[in-house]
């Protein structure tokens, strides 16, 4: 049994299926961390009070021994202990609840409080006018002034409906725990399938902010396969190709000011860290 009170400088990373998770990019990123870090299940929320089972139905399948098994929709919490780092990670992987959001978040916050985590990172993904041929846009915002200043984050300017990610991040302030929201922008014309390229982009941002080394696993190859499929779609439909070309022009024009010396230096430093880890004797 994991003793949450004895975790090392823990950080929370959370993602939820549903409205906040276009092309399964956010939950795909957390699933990757659970697998690559061999995370240990700590607890799961009782779904009875939070989910409409006609909307999120239980699934029937088979267990490892071939017996029939019923799996209920829920939200689970895992602890990961990444190698080559001095901190642990509490991973929350769930489904946006259908009701009683404040009670749902309170249960999550009790686990966060027990772990003494000093930072919560919430992942999300949205549909956008973004070309698949360019890097997936990723934004990071925080309402905490000190965190925004130290990490050069922009305050969120969004106004409108929010999902469970926004509610959870907001309620973290009741514990005095600062939160960061990281969102990827998915090309809306090819959002019907999971987008590992966006999951990879989210993880790259986490690496940069938290100075964590995240194993790639098969995610880069999955991202390349997704890219090939998107290219084929564009090549087969002249209207889609023309639309993608217009998005490319808009994106390239908007990105020109971002090619600063600081941005290039930061990317080069990240490359060197990865290279030194993979080739320690060089």
Verify that 272 and 159 share a domain, yes or no. no
Verify that 199 and 87 share a domain, yes or no. yes
In which band, very low, low, confident or very high, does the pLDDT at 174 lie, cut at 50, 70 and 90?
confident
Verify that 184 and 243 share a domain, yes or no. no
Residue 271 confidence (pLDDT): 53
Verify that 115 and 67 share a domain, yes or no. yes
Verify that 231 and 174 share a domain, yes or no. yes
The answer as to whether 26 is a domain residue is yes
The answer as to whether 28 is a domain residue is yes
Q: In the chain, how many domains are there?
A: 2
pLDDT score of 282 more than 70? no
Whole-number Å distance between alpha carbons of 217 and 167: 32
The answer as to whether 1 is a domain residue is no
The answer as to whether 3 is a domain residue is no
Calculate mean pLDDT across residues 117-140.
94
Verify that 51 and 94 share a domain, yes or no. yes
Verify that 226 and 255 share a domain, yes or no. no
Whole-number Å distance between alpha carbons of 196 and 184: 11
In sequence order, what are the residues at sequence separation of 6 or more whose Cβ sits closer than 8 angstroms to the Cβ of residue 194? Answer: 23, 24, 25, 28, 226
Look up the domain containing 58 and give its range.
11-236
Whole-number Å distance between alpha carbons of 144 and 210: 16
Verify that 270 and 180 share a domain, yes or no. no
The DSSP code for 251 is H
Verify that 102 and 115 share a domain, yes or no. yes
Cα four-point dihedral sign 271, 272, 273, 278: positive
- pLDDT tens digits, one per residue of 70-85: 999 999 999 999 988 8
Verify that 125 and 254 share a domain, yes or no. no
Q: Phi, psi (5° rounding) for residue 232?
A: -65, -40
The DSSP code for 147 is H
Verify that 249 and 189 share a domain, yes or no. no
pLDDT score of 265 more than 60? no
Of residues 92, 68, 80, the one with CA closest to residue 20: 92
Residue 266 confidence (pLDDT): 58
Give Cα 198 distance to the centre of its chain: 9
The answer as to whether 5 is a domain residue is no
Whole-number Å distance between alpha carbons of 224 and 230: 10
Calculate mean pLDDT across residues 49-55.
95
The answer as to whether 6 is a domain residue is no
Q: What angle do CA 84, 88, 93 make, to 5 degrees?
A: 120
Supply the CATH number for residue 217's domain.
3.40.50.10900
The DSSP code for 20 is T
The answer as to whether 57 is a domain residue is yes
pLDDT greater at residue 279 or residue 123: 123
**Helix (H), strand (E) at residue 181:** strand 179-187
The answer as to whether 143 is a domain residue is yes
Residue 38 confidence (pLDDT): 96
Verify that 228 and 241 share a domain, yes or no. no
């Amino acid at each position: 049994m994991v003793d949450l009170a004895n975790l090392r400088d823990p950080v929370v990373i959370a993602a939820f299926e549903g409205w906040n998770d276009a092309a399964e990019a956010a939950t795909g990123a957390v699933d990757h961390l659970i697998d690559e870090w061999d995370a240990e299940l700590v607890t799961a929320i009782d779904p009875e009070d939070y989910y409409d089972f006609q909307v999120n139905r239980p699934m029937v399948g088979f267990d490892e021994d071939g017996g029939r098994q019923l799996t209920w929709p829920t939200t689970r919490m895992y602890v990961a202990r990444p190698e080559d780092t001095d901190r642990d990670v509490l991973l929350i992987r769930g489904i946006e609840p259908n009701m009683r959001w404040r009670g749902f978040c309170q249960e999550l916050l009790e686990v966060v409080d027990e772990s003494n985590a000093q930072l919560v990172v919430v992942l999300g993904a949205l549909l956008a006018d973004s070309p698949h041929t360019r890097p997936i846009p990723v934004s990071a915002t925080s309402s905490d002034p000190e965190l925004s200043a130290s990490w050069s984050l922009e305050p969120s300017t969004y106004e409108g409906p929010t999902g469970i990610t926004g509610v959870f991040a907001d309620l973290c302030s009741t514990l005095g725990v600062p939160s960061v929201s990281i969102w990827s922008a998915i090309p809306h014309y090819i959002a019907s399938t999971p987008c590992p390229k966006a999951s990879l982009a989210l993880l790259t941002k986490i690496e940069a902010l938290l100075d964590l080394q995240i194993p790639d696993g098969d995610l880069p190859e999955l991202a390349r396969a997704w890219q090939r499929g998107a290219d084929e779609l564009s090549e087969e439909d002249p209207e889609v190709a023309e639309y993608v070309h217009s998005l490319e022009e808009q994106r390239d024009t908007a990105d020109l000011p971002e090619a600063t010396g600081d941005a290039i230096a930061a990317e080069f430093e990240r490359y060197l860290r990865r290279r030194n880890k993979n080739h320690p004797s060089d």
